Structure formats: C-alpha cells, structure tokens
Structure 1
Amino acid sequence: MIEARGLTKRYGEKVAVEDLSFTARPGVVTGFLGPNGAGKSTTMRMILGLDRPTRGEVRVNGLRYQDMTDPLCQVGALLEARAVHTGRSARNHLLALAQTHGISARRVDEVIGLAGLTDVAGRRVGGFSLGMGQRLGIASALLGDPATIILDEPVNGLDPEGIRWIRNLLSQLATEGRTVFLSSHLMSEMALVATHLVVVGRGRLIAQTSVADFIAAASPNTVRVRSPQAIPLREALAGHGVTITATGEDTLEITGRTNEEIGEAARACGIALYELTRHQVSLEDAFMDLTRDAVEYHATNAPAPAGASAGRRSAAHAGVAA
C-alpha cells in the first residue's frame, strides 16, 4: 500500500506538488494520471526517497522508503529504463542488483525469463533496443519479488506483443494482492489495465476514484434508442425533465430517463427495442475534460508553410502533451 499525506515539494519559488494526499491499495492497479508538469514524476521520486518532501510524508507498506532495510524486496520501481551500465550484459546487470540484497542467481534467471529476455541475457545492454531496455527495467523492478510495484510509462517502446505482455503481467500482479501503481500517457492502455485512478494537475489532487466512476462522471446522461415504434415510445417517455430528440426515423436520443426506465416503459407498451445504449465517453475524453484547466503546456497554432493555399492550412489543437 502507498499512502501519501499532505505531500508538498517546492523548488525555490516553484511548487511542484502541493498538499497531495492519496492511497494506492493492494490488489488493484492504480493509474497515476496528469498533464505534463502536473507533478507526477516528483511524486514518484518522493515515494522512492529520491526527493525529500518540503512538507508531508509518504509511506509504502507503513514505512518510509529510506527506513527500509531491504527496499528492493519491498518496492520494485521503474522510473528510467536507461539508467543502467551499458557495458554490462542484461544478466550481469541483474546479478549486480541481486547481490546487494542477497537475492539468488536463480531468481535473476526467473525474471529474465518472465521479461522475455532469455535469448539476449548475455548481450550488452548498450546494444538493446528501447523495448528490450524497457523489459530489462521491468525485470529489475520485479527482481526482489516486491509487494509494491511502481512503474513510469511501462509500455514505452514495447511492440504490440510486449504491450499485451505487460498488460497481462500488471493484472496478474494485482490479482496476487500486490499494489501496482503506474503512470502513463497512453489512455487506451490505462483504460484496459487500471481499475482505480489518482489524477493530478498543477501539483494538486483532482480526482481519486475508480475508472468506471471517472468515466461515468464525464459522460452525458444521454441514452440512444432505436425502435420501429419510435413515435409511441416518445409519447410514453415524455414528462417533466425529459428531453427527447429524434436523430433518425427510428432513433431517439433521450436525457432524463435511465436505461431501466426506458426499457420498462417499452415493455409496458409492447414496444420493440433494437438498441438501448447509454452514451459513454472514453477515458481519454474524460481526462481531457477534467484536466482542461490544469494543463501547463499548450500547443500553439502552427504557421502554414510558405506558399500553402488557404484550404490546406491547418491549426494544431491545444491539448495535453504526450
């Protein structure tokens, strides 16, 4: 479990994190989201004792990181996959880490196999691709068989097979009762693997909730209905606080009624339904909407190339940097 209470970090006049409190619990994958400059990296560095909070504290499994006698066996972390000695082989890199904690060579070989690096374990890390380096970083994080795993952009550089591998791995680790805390800008992947979210902006907590509730809160209360008897259905559903819009000959968009209420009204009137769907936004849309005022870095309109026709000019949309 990760427990942050009133975390604040200042760098001179710059406030990177301000009064941030959250909990990441065992048995779930907690996604850590925020625009660039939101304080995510600083927060993870404070969790791992790399930066000292100006105020507040953070504990992992009840302990401050600096008070752990065997941190690699309690917290596995990947913040920068390239932070390795490039002249060492992958296996020797892991062996060097293992020897600092009395971890066996057998465990080293286990995580090499788990990360899919068996065939390249003897190669120097300096010749690794970005994806192979990422796999090595994840193997390092798992080396001590920790109860808590902290990963920053774990799918960075991975190919489709690697992305599926890390997705399944994270879910399995949570199923084993471990605390999994990860940061990523890939909302599509976060929506597939995370069950809870901690969302920050400009160093402050914006939301701490489940993925489902986060998306539901951003989704409009609109239900799309298709029926060959759209007119009588509209009459049956009309009432105070209900808005019904016909978007096709047999299609209605309804606000002010739940799926259950619409279905019951249709059943009572003997009306057939071909579709009954509540509109739901994506995690990316929900994130963009909630953090719109917390984005520190906006793209600017790009000038069109010289000589380009007016019809070919386009402007870059402002948004969260990847």
Structure 2
Amino acid sequence: MIEVQGLTKRYGRKVAVEDLSFTVQPGVVTGFLGPNGAGKSTTMRMILGLDRPTSGIALVDGRPYRELRAPARHVGALLEARSIHSGRNARNHLLALAATHGVSTRRVDEVIDLVGLREVAGKRAGGFSLGMGQRLGIASALLADPSTLILDEPVNGLDPEGIRWIRDLLRGLAAEGRAILISSHLMSEMALTATHLVVIGRGRLIQETTVEQFVRAASSSRVHVRSPQAAEFAELLAQAGATVSFSPATAGNPATRAVSSIPPQLTISDSIEVAGLPVERIGDLARAHGITLYELSPRLASLEDAFMDITRDAVEFATATPSTRGGNR
C-alpha cells in the first residue's frame, strides 16, 4: 500500500509537485496519469526515497521507504529499464540483485521464466532491445516478491504480445492482493489495465477516481448529432456556448474539424459532436429552430478523450496546431 500525504517538491523557484495526496490500495491497479512535466516521475522518486520531499511524506506499507528494513520485499520498482550493467548477462544481473536482498537462485530462475527471457538469459544485457530491457526491468522489480509495485511506462518498447502479457500480469498480481501504481501515456492500454486513476497536472492532484467514473463524467458532456441541417445547427449550438466539431461521412475518416471550417454544403449523412450542452438543451434548440434530427445520443468518451478534457488547462508543453498554408519551414 502507498500513502502520499501533502507531498511537495521544489527545485529553487520551480514547483515540481505541490501538496499532493493520494492512496494506492492493495488489490488494485492504479493508473498514474498526467501530461509531460506534471510531476509523475518526481512523485515516484520521492515514494522510493530517491528524492527528498520539500514537505509532506510518502509511505509504503505504513513507513517511509528509507525506514523499510527489507525494502525490495515491500516494493518493486521500474523507473528506468536501462539502469543495468550492460556487460552482465540477464541472469547474472538478477543474481547480483538477489545476493543483496537474500533472494534465492530458484527465484531468479522463476522470474526469468515469468517475463519470457529464458532464451536470452545468458546474453549480455547491453545488447538487448528496448522491449527485452523492459522485461528484464520488470523481472528485477518482481525479484523479491514485493507487496507493492511502482512501474513507470512498463509497456514502452513492448510488441503487442508483450503489452498483452504485462496487462494480464498486472491484473493477476493485483488479484493476489498487491498494490500497483503504473504510469503510461498509452491511454487505450491504461483503460484495459487500471481500475483506479490518480490524475495530476502541474504537480497538483486533478482527480482521484475509478476509470469508469472518470470516463462517465466526460461522456455526459458529449453528444452525437446527425441532421441534414448540420451546418446550420452547428452555428446555432456554437452561439449557445457549445463546442462543436463535425466529421463528414463522405470524407471516410474520423478526423474532426472546427465549426468555423464547416463548408456551406454538407451531405445528408454528415454528423456533428457537441460538448458543453446537455442532450436535453440540444434537443430543445433543434425544436425551437425547426432543425430535423436523425440522431441525438450521448457519446461514450474514451479514456483518452476524458484525459484530454480534464488536463487541457494543465498542459505545460502544448503543441502548436499545424498550419495548412505554405511559407517558411
């Protein structure tokens, strides 16, 4: 179990983490989400005693990491898969770790098989691919059979089979009663792996909730509308304060465009998506202005949609919108 209480970390005038509190419960895979620069890695480092907090405290099984008598048996971590001696083979790397924690050779062989490295266990780790390095890092985290796992981007570099494997592994470990904190930028994978979420931005807690509740809250503000008068209706909705985008069926792709770019002529099958107005208000507007509707339905948001919505104002490194005009490059 992990308990973060009022955690703050400052680097001079820069506040990396500010008054952050959350709990990672046993038996649950908790997704740790946030934009780049949100403070996720700094928080993980403070939990593991690698960075000293300016204020606040982080506890693993009720104690600060530095006070754990056998820390590897309480928490296994993967923060950087490449933090290995490149001249050692995979098995010797794990044997060296095992010797410092009183772990048996038999356990080393067990985790090698568990992560699928049996065929390359005798090869130098410096020649491993990114995916193989990730598997070795996960083996290191699991070596002492800890009750808690902290994994930073564990699916990075894994192929589809490897991604499914780590997903099933984490679910299985949680079912055994372990507390698991996992960060990832792959929202689709997080939606399939985690059941609980901790979302931060600019070092502060934005939301701590379940995946289901997080997605449901985002879905309630999105409505799919189909109408032969889609362009006209989009303008009316925008005037009422809604955010409108559309995806012409004739285009054959799901890319949305802003309401200002709607062409004067739309086919009868064109549809729009509306955010910021409840479905009842949208229906009332259509009736009041004589708009024919073919479809009016709440849209189930993806985890990625929900994440983008809730962290929109917490993005530190925003990407500029590509220009469609020519000019200097």
Give the TM bin, normalised by the shorter chain: 0.7 to 0.9
Rounded Cα–Cα distance in structure 1 between residues aligned with 2:73 and 2:119: 26
Task: Give the structure 2 partner of residue 266 of structure 1.
Answer: none
1:196 and 2:196 aligned: yes
Task: Give the structure 2 partner of residue 253 of structure 1.
Answer: 296
* Cα gap change, 1:7 to 1:161, in 2 (>3 Å): same
Q: Deviations over 1:142-179 (max 9, x none)?
A: 00000000000000000011001000001001111100
Rounded Cα–Cα distance in structure 2 between residues aligned with 1:188 and 1:58: 29
Task: Give the structure 2 partner of residue 185 of structure 1.
Answer: 185
Rounded Cα–Cα distance in structure 2 between residues aligned with 1:50 and 1:223: 46
Task: Give the structure 2 partner of residue 264 of structure 1.
Answer: none
CA contact (8 A) 1:76 1:140 kept: yes
Rounded Cα–Cα distance in structure 2 between residues aligned with 1:15 and 1:164: 36
Task: Give the structure 1 partner of residue 167 of structure 2.
Answer: 167
Instruction: Answer with 132-141 or 278-287: which moved more.
Output: 278-287
Task: Give the structure 1 partner of residue 319 of structure 2.
Answer: 299
| Alignment-mate amino acid for residue 283 of structure 1 | L
Rounded Cα–Cα distance in structure 2 between residues aligned with 1:218 and 1:7: 28
1:279 and 2:322 aligned: no
The sequence identity of aligned pairs, in percent, is 68
CA contact (8 A) 2:112 2:139 kept: yes
Rounded Cα–Cα distance in structure 1 between residues aligned with 2:314 and 2:282: 33
Task: Give the structure 2 partner of residue 94 of structure 1.
Answer: 94
Rounded Cα–Cα distance in structure 1 between residues aligned with 2:86 and 2:161: 25
Task: Give the structure 2 partner of residue 319 of structure 1.
Answer: none
Rounded Cα–Cα distance in structure 2 between residues aligned with 1:167 and 1:194: 9
Q: CA deviation at 1:252?
A: 3.3
Matches within 5 A, 1:24-173: 24-173=24-173
Aligned residues: 272
Q: CA deviation at 1:52?
A: 0.5
CA contact (8 A) 2:222 2:301 kept: no
Rounded Cα–Cα distance in structure 2 between residues aligned with 1:293 and 1:106: 50
| Alignment-mate amino acid for residue 109 of structure 2 | D
Rounded Cα–Cα distance in structure 2 between residues aligned with 1:297 and 1:223: 29
Rounded Cα–Cα distance in structure 2 between residues aligned with 1:249 and 1:292: 33
The answer for unaligned runs of 5 or more in structure 1 is 227-240, 255-277, 305-309, 316-322
| Alignment-mate amino acid for residue 298 of structure 1 | A
Task: Give the structure 1 partner of residue 7 of structure 2.
Answer: 7
Matches within 5 A, 1:206-217: 206-217=206-217
Rounded Cα–Cα distance in structure 2 between residues aligned with 1:222 and 1:302: 25
CA contact (8 A) 1:90 1:122 kept: yes
Q: CA deviation at 1:250?
A: 8.9
CA contact (8 A) 1:222 1:253 kept: no
Q: CA deviation at 1:298?
A: 1.1
| 2:20 counterpart SS class | strand
RMSD: 2.4
Task: Give the structure 1 partner of residue 253 of structure 2.
Answer: none
Rounded Cα–Cα distance in structure 1 between residues aligned with 2:315 and 2:281: 35
Task: Give the structure 2 partner of residue 289 of structure 1.
Answer: 309
| 2:77 counterpart SS class | strand
Q: Deviations over 1:208-260 (max 9, x none)?
A: 0000111111113567799xxxxxxxxxxxxxx565369x9994315xxxxxx
Q: CA deviation at 1:300?
A: 2.5
| 1:100 counterpart SS class | helix
Rounded Cα–Cα distance in structure 1 between residues aligned with 2:27 and 2:321: 44
Rounded Cα–Cα distance in structure 2 between residues aligned with 1:197 and 1:33: 7
CA contact (8 A) 1:191 1:211 kept: yes
Q: Deviations over 1:126-150 (max 9, x none)?
A: 1100000000000000000000000
TM-score (normalised: structure 1):
0.79
The answer for unaligned runs of 5 or more in structure 2 is 227-279
Rounded Cα–Cα distance in structure 2 between residues aligned with 1:11 and 1:279: 42
Rounded Cα–Cα distance in structure 2 between residues aligned with 1:39 and 1:15: 9
Q: Deviations over 1:40-89 (max 9, x none)?
A: 00000000000000000010110110001111111000000000000000
Rounded Cα–Cα distance in structure 2 between residues aligned with 1:101 and 1:222: 52
| 1:21 counterpart SS class | strand
| Alignment-mate amino acid for residue 159 of structure 1 | D
* Cα gap change, 1:107 to 1:287, in 2 (>3 Å): same
TM-score (normalised: structure 2):
0.78
* Cα gap change, 1:286 to 1:225, in 2 (>3 Å): closer
CA contact (8 A) 2:26 2:174 kept: yes
Rounded Cα–Cα distance in structure 1 between residues aligned with 2:153 and 2:134: 9
| Alignment-mate amino acid for residue 252 of structure 1 | E
Matches within 5 A, 1:231-246: 243-244=282-283
